[in-house]
Amino acid sequence: MEAKEISDLVYEVNSHLEKPELQRALKIESSVRSYLSDYLKGRGFIEVPPVIISVLTDPLNHPVYDPTIDYYGYKYSITKSMIFHKHILTKHFGKIFTFSPNIRLEEEDKAETGRHLSEFTQLDLEIRDATREDVMSLGEEMIVELFSKIKKTHSDDLKFFGRDLRIPKKPFERIRYKDAEKEYGGDFESILSKEKKEPFWIIDIPLEKREFYDREDPQRPGILVDMDLVYPEGFGEALSGGEREYKLDRIIERIHKKRQTEEQFKWYIEFAKDGLYPSAGFGIGIERLTRYICGLSRIEDVHPFPKVPGKLSL
Ligand code: ASN
């Protein structure tokens, strides 16, 4: 990482915070948060506070720097996602959501994507006894309503960005992971994202491409009952989620298939022994959503203190 004088950093932060683009984007993001929150509360969801450190967090399916904090003899991680907490909560609450700050200390190859911040917020939600179908239609309706409201209330800001925000038609297109890969090769997500004019779903993701907690289709071994939503116009991944494994034997088998250890997830396993419910949910990145709404090429332009992998930031 390049060395930087403190005075340079102060200058950089101040010039960033002064930018009209950032100020407008933050105004929009502030509305995005309240509209989404109102939308979910209006549908019976309870907002829960975020978990920042825990003995249990998402293993993710890609490498990140992974520090732990030793505290009273236990190893705590900084939350990478609240996936397990969401699932455990559905034992006692039917529908929950949280604006969850996630820390993923990405490696430097993610610095130039324009889509990665090491610290970001996802709106993470989970519903007990729901199916993938249920959460996909919820996601579609939520996005359509959000975009319509933003168009009405932020027309000046969208005009400033020169953004003609299109309201997508429901249901969004669905493409099976394996079909997309066959037709476009390994880079299908970015190819399709550039080609499409409206958000679309990638469904039925192969088991090895995702974490152990997404449910394997009992009728189609190796295929998960999960999904990603991808933004059009080259903006890439928006959301990911799916149905969850909830039976103890399935959870243990899936942990082993990933070559992870029961020790690593012992707390979650204890909850599974106690009994978990079937559930489904998803998480949508707030900064990526704001970036898409504003039509900006770089994610740091929607965050006051952006943590771009490999770069010093406040
Ligand atoms: N929030 C995602 C989900 O609900 C998980 C993640 O962020 N890795 O599936």
Per-residue pLDDT, 291: 98
Which atom of ligand 1 is found nearest the CA of 211? 8
Go through the domains of the chain in sequence order and give each one's CATH number: 3-302 (3.30.930.10)
Instruction: Tell the residue nearest (CA) to atom 2 of ligand 1.
Output: 283
Residue 2 in this model has a pLDDT that exceeds 60: no
Distance of CA 215 from the midpoint of ligand 1 (Å): 13
Give which of 33, 95, 87, 37 is closest to 57, Cα–Cα: 87
Q: Is the pLDDT of residue 4 over 70?
A: no
Does the pLDDT at position 160 exceed 90? yes
Query: What percentage of residues in the chain have a pLDDT greater than 90?
Result: 93
Lookup: tokens for 140: 């579609």
Q: What angle do CA 281, 286, 287 make, to 5 degrees?
A: 145
How far is 245 from 276, CA to CA, in rounded Å? 9
User: What is the three-class DSSP state of 244?
Assistant: strand
Categorize the per-residue pLDDT at 5 as very low, low, confident or very high, splitting at 50, 70 and 90.
Answer: confident
CA of 81 from ligand 1 middle (Å) equals 6
Q: What is the pLDDT of residue 272?
A: 97
CA of 16 to the centre of ligand 1 (A): 30
Q: State yes or no: pLDDT of 145 exceeds 60.
A: yes
Ligand 1 center–CA 157 separation, angstroms: 30
In sequence order, the β-bridge partners of residue 133 are none
Mean pLDDT of the chain: 96
- In the predicted structure, residue 206 carries a pLDDT above the cut 80: yes
Amino acid identity, position 289: L
Give the model's confidence band at 111: pLDDT under 50 very low, under 70 low, under 90 confident, else very high.
confident
pLDDT 10s digits, 62-86? 999 999 999 999 999 999 999 999 9
Name all residues whose Cβ lies below 6 A of ligand 1. 58, 81, 83, 122, 124, 240-242, 281-283
pLDDT in tens, 23-48: 999 999 999 999 999 999 999 999 99
Number of the ligand 1 atom closest to the C-alpha atom of 282: 4
Cis status, amide bond into 49, omega within 30 of 0:
no
Task: Supply the pLDDT for residue 282.
Answer: 98
With CA atoms as reference, report the closest residue to 207 among 140, 253, 267, 161.
253
Q: Is the pLDDT of residue 143 over 80?
A: yes
Per-residue pLDDT tens for 172-184?
Answer: 999 999 999 999 9
- Asked if residue 208 has pLDDT above 70, the reply is yes
Its pTM stands at 0.96
What letter would DSSP give residue 300?
A: G
Task: Indicate the pLDDT class of residue 131, thresholds 50, 70 and 90.
Answer: very high
What pLDDT is recorded for position 310?
A: 87
The mean pLDDT value for 99-120 works out to 93
Residue 1 predicted with pLDDT over 60: no
Q: What is the residue with the minimal CA distance to atom 4 of ligand 1?
A: 282
Query: For the residues 213-237, what does the mean pLDDT come to?
Result: 98
Q: What is the mean pLDDT of residues 259-272?
A: 95
* pLDDT class of 3 with cuts at 50, 70, 90: low
Residue 312 has pLDDT above 90, yes or no: no
Q: 285 pLDDT exceeds 80?
A: yes
**Count of other CB atoms within 10 angstroms of residue 129:** 11
pLDDT for position 264 = 92
In the chain, the largest separation of any two C-alpha atoms, in whole Å, equals 60
